[in-house]
Each structure stands twice: as C-alpha cells, then as structure tokens.
Amino acid sequence: MRILVLQHIACEPPGAFEDVLVERGADLHRVELDEGEPLPGLDGFDAVVAMGGPMSVNDEAEHPWLVGEKALIREAVERDVPFWGSCLGVQLLASALGGRVHAGPAPEVGVLPVQLTAAAATDPVFAGLPETMPTLQWHGDTFELPEGAVLLATSPAYANQAFRVGRSAYGVQFHVEVTPELSHEWSVIPEYVAYADRVLGPGGIASLLADFEARNEEMQGHARGMFERWLDLVPQH
C-alpha cells in the first residue's frame, strides 16, 4: 500500500495514524508543502492523507501551493482514491469540493466532546464509536458541507465536525491522532503556547495538556479504530 501524506508543518504529522500505517507495512511518501516540496501526481498512490497546519485554506496568496493541493484532493475524490483529512485536511477537502471555509464564531480549543450523527451509526468508518467521544480541538475556522457530503459528527460550538463524500473520502475537524510526544512538542512551540493562552487564558497550555493526558489513551483508541477501518476501504493490489 503506497500512501501520499500531505503535511503543512513538521510538528503535525499523522501521529497515531502513522503508527497504524507502519504496522500495516505501508510505504509513505511524505510531502512537506510548507517547505516547498513539490506535489506528485496521484498515479501510483493507493490513498491520500492530509494533516493539519496553522494556515487557513484561504491563504492562497501567502501559500500558493494550496491551489495545487486542493486540485489534487478534488482529483482524488473524482477518481475514488481514498482520502483522509484531519483539521486543516478536512477544511481542504471541503474547499476543494466547493464548500466555503470561514472563521468560526470563536476558536474551539481544548479537549472537548463531539457528538456522532445518526448517519455515523451505519458508516463503515464511524460505526462502533461511542455517540459522544472526547477530541482535541485546535481551530478557529469552520466549513460548509460540500454537495453530497454526509455529516458524521458535530459539536455545540461547531456544527460540522466530520463528513464523508462518496465511498472513501473522509475528513475530521478534530484531532485524535496526537500522541503524548506530539502534545509535549506543541506545548513548547511559542506560537502554539501563545494561541492557547489567548483562547484559554494564562496557563492555558498547561491545563490543556493535563486534560489531554487524562483522555489521550481513549482518544488514540478511537483514532486507531477509525483509521484502521478507513484503511480497510483502500483497494489492495
């Protein structure tokens, strides 16, 4: 299995998702778009994984590579190449398919619950998850569902938290893939610390880290379950 991994900053790799890929013997081709690495074509890849990042999908003037990335994601959906997007990745999926991405009413940051929809109960990836589950939220933008999307999860602050398009294109706004190692890395990045303190108040990053550590094992269990079931949708050669 050959997987194209789209990264937008070094500190936001696939985390627990990557652990699953390695266990399955997948061949990962990682592209660091923010570092100017070129996008390959889709030929030869069995699936695409797009991760998070601090930029907005609308920052095309500052990050012109976003234009090509969205075109590649749209092509993947059209060709039924399985796609998984997390945080920025779900917003890229929505934008690539015509959904508007815009600032939400207020940033959603912290370990917060999402509620699964009725459609999630029969979805091949989300079925079996609890109706309410903890997630790490770290975003200020939200998105409108593109045409034909099936809403799979929601939250009180942001109605659109996860969706599916077609058979195997999935996006989740939240983080469940973050490992303890990654969380500690985030906790010492000045820009991330400042953002948490601005949203949550002084010492916000410390309280967030404590909440994360208390629920991390549960979140990673959900991450692995979802991602393994999504990988089962990837055609085997």
Per-residue pLDDT tens over the stretch 204-228:
888 888 999 999 999 999 999 999 9
Q: 188: pLDDT confidence band, cut at 50, 70 and 90?
A: confident
Q: How do the domains of the chain map onto residue ranges?
A: 2-231
Architecture (CATH level 2) of domain 2-231: 3-Layer(aba) Sandwich (3.40)
Q: For residue 109, which phi and psi values (nearest 5 degrees)?
A: -135, 130
Q: Which of 12, 18, 139, 175 is catalytic?
A: 175
Options 8, 18, 177, 222, the catalytic residue? 177
Give residue 192's pLDDT band: very low, low, confident or very high (50, 70, 90).
Answer: confident
Q: Compute the mean pLDDT over every residue in the chain, rounded to the nearest whole number.
A: 94
Query: Which own/partner pairs from 35-41 qualify as long-range (CB within 8 Å, at least 24 positions apart)?
Result: 36/65, 39/6, 39/65, 39/68, 39/69, 39/72, 40/4
Identify the pLDDT of residue 61.
95
Rounded CA-CA distance 92/172 in Å is 11
pLDDT tens for residues 39-74?
Answer: 999 999 999 999 999 899 999 999 999 999 999 999
Per-residue pLDDT, 237: 65
Percent share of the chain, pLDDT over 70 = 100
Neighbours of 208 (CB within 10 A): 25
**11 among known catalytic residues:** no
Catalytic residue among 12, 87, 108, 222: 87
Total-model pTM: 0.94
